[in-house]
Amino acid sequence: MNSADFEFISSLIKGGSGLVLTADKGYLLESRLGPVAHKYGHANLDALIAALRLTPRGQMLTDVVEAMTTNESFFFRDGKPFDMFRNKFLPDILARNAVSKTLRIWCAAASTGQEPYSLAMLLTEEASKLQGWNCQILATDISNEALDRARSGIYTHFEVQRGLAIQRLIKFFEKQGELWQIKPEIRNMVQYRQFNLLHDPRPFGRFDVVFCRNVLIYFDQPTKTQVLNSISTVMDKDAVLLLGGAETVFGISDVFKPVADHFGVYSLAANESLKRAV
Ligand SMILES: C[S@@+](CC[C@H](N)C(=O)[O-])C[C@H]1O[C@@H](n2cnc3c(N)ncnc32)[C@H](O)[C@@H]1O
């Protein structure tokens, strides 16, 4: 691929999703966009790019962007964020929202569902404390394909072996031939919506907890700043944001401050928190 084509396609992908394609990742274009080219009847990537130059929008562009997303996820990924949620943030919310009895969680890059379902399993395990509560888990992602998989709740043996304790597998899943499907009562706890993090999330309302894990790593600094700032607009004044292990707000956004002793967790900076109180 010549450099003009590389520039063109990488700027289309970045404009549509924020995903940055550095020159060393050029090989990904060939492997991931080949199937998209064939789907639209183009012989190869060059022909697909020529078609995109004529019509740089619509379903073909959506498919190109989706093909470039990395949907890697697993249940209870990294362990700690879910321990912190159970041991610290959930008890805090139970005390804080004791009157409204509402708990709203947003998984902002939910991929194929392992993260929101991990939270749904945790809430089910804590059900005795949540009697009479209205608990909502909103799970969004830019990729419709990933969301379709998430909605199905069907996972391979390999996927359920990654991060999921055998007791949880037995309790929360049903075997479907060679596959495993998460039980309807857990599936029904999660609402899925397609959402691009470059857009305004305020129509979703305010949340007590936001998981935005392992997606900022794919964005450049200005996009990270934009996304973090817009996430802050839907956080309740005492809400927490949990980022991935390789992600931070430091040097990127000053609307957050770290939560002491809780690595990778941030709350609103004092002045932002005050704004939510009025
Ligand atoms: C590596 S997965 C992370 C999944 C999960 N949060 C975890 O940590 O296991 C990254 C996800 O971010 C999504 N993504 C990428 N760009 C996005 C955007 N602009 N808006 C919303 N989701 C996006 C991808 O489709 C992908 O499913």
Per-residue pLDDT tens over the stretch 226-268: 999 999 999 999 999 999 999 999 999 999 999 999 999 999 9
The residue count for the chain: 278
pLDDT at 278: 64
Could you tell me the distance, in angstroms and rounded to a whole number, from the CA of residue 73 to the centre of ligand 1? Answer: 9
Quote the CA–CA distance of 64 and 36 in Å, as a whole number: 7
Residue 27 pLDDT > 90, yes or no?
no
Instruction: Give the pLDDT mean for 179-206.
Output: 98
Q: Hey, what amino acid is at 127?
A: A
Residue 13 DSSP SS3: helix
Could you tell me the distance, in angstroms and rounded to a whole number, from the CA of residue 211 to the centre of ligand 1? Answer: 11
pLDDT at 22: 84
pLDDT at 277: 72
pLDDT at 17: 96
Q: Whose CA is nearest to atom 24 of ligand 1?
A: 69
Percent of the chain with pLDDT over 90: 91
Instruction: Give the pLDDT mean for 15-35.
Output: 90
pLDDT in tens, 82-118: 999 999 999 999 999 999 999 999 999 999 999 999 9
Say if CB 69 and CB 143 are below 8 A apart. yes
Say if CB 256 and CB 241 are below 8 A apart. yes
Kindly give, in sequence order, each residue whose CB lies less than 8 Å from that of residue 144, ignoring residues fewer than 6 positions away.
62, 66, 194
Residue 1 pLDDT > 90, yes or no?
no
Could you tell me the distance, in angstroms and rounded to a whole number, from the CA of residue 197 to the centre of ligand 1? Answer: 9
Per the prediction, the chain carries an average pLDDT of 95
Asked whether the whole model's pTM tops 0.75, one would answer yes
pLDDT at 26: 81
What's the DSSP call for residue 165? -
Say if CB 202 and CB 233 are below 8 A apart. yes
CA 186 to chain centre: 18
Say if CB 255 and CB 229 are below 8 A apart. yes
pLDDT at 271: 82
Q: How far apart are the first and last CA of the chain?
A: 54
Atom of ligand 1 nearest to the CA of 227: 19
Q: Which residues surround ligand 1 with Cβ inside 6 Å?
A: 17-19, 69-73, 77, 109, 111, 115, 141-143, 146, 196-198, 213-215, 244
Quote the CA–CA distance of 220 and 99 in Å, as a whole number: 41
Could you tell me the distance, in angstroms and rounded to a whole number, from the CA of residue 128 to the centre of ligand 1? Answer: 32
pLDDT at 218: 96
- List of E strands, the chain: 102-107, 134-141, 154-155, 173-176, 179-182, 190-194, 207-212, 235-243, 256-258, 265-268
Could you tell me the distance, in angstroms and rounded to a whole number, from the CA of residue 6 to the centre of ligand 1? Answer: 23
